[in-house]
Amino acid sequence: MKTAIETGVLARFGKALADPTRASVLMRLKEGPAYSGELAELVGVSRQILSNHLACLRDCGLVVATPEGRRVRYELADPKLAHALEDLLGTILAVESVCQCTTPEVTP
């Protein structure tokens, strides 16, 4: 595993937050570890859809998975991510009704 440079870190974080399902998963994991079945139910998606989103979050380096018997426990890769999410939520943004941002590929 390698450490991403600053812009890569921000791009990966942005990619993860750009999807409402992934953002919901991160917000739930901000509260503490959870299992995939529990996350799927809380977020309101199938386990297969959640699995794809968890793979993205793992690939972005934001979430880690720990096998526990037949289940897998997910948690934020770094406790500081919980604080970062809280800080983002506390930020007041002046926004347009439609975001004109494009979604370029994220590179490390």
Cα–Cα distance for residue pair 29/76, rounded to 1 Å: 6
Cα–Cα distance for residue pair 77/61, rounded to 1 Å: 7
Q: Is the pLDDT of residue 107 over 50?
A: no
Can you read off the two tokens belonging to residue 65? 């998975």
pLDDT digits (tens, 9 = 90+) for 37-71: 999 999 999 999 999 999 999 998 899 999 999 99
pTM (two decimals) = 0.78
Q: Please determine, looking at this structure, whether the domain spanning 6-89 carries the CATH number 3.40.50.1220.
A: no
pLDDT digits (tens, 9 = 90+) for 94-106: 666 676 666 555 4
pLDDT digits (tens, 9 = 90+) for 16-32: 888 999 999 999 999 99
Domain boundaries, the chain: 6-89
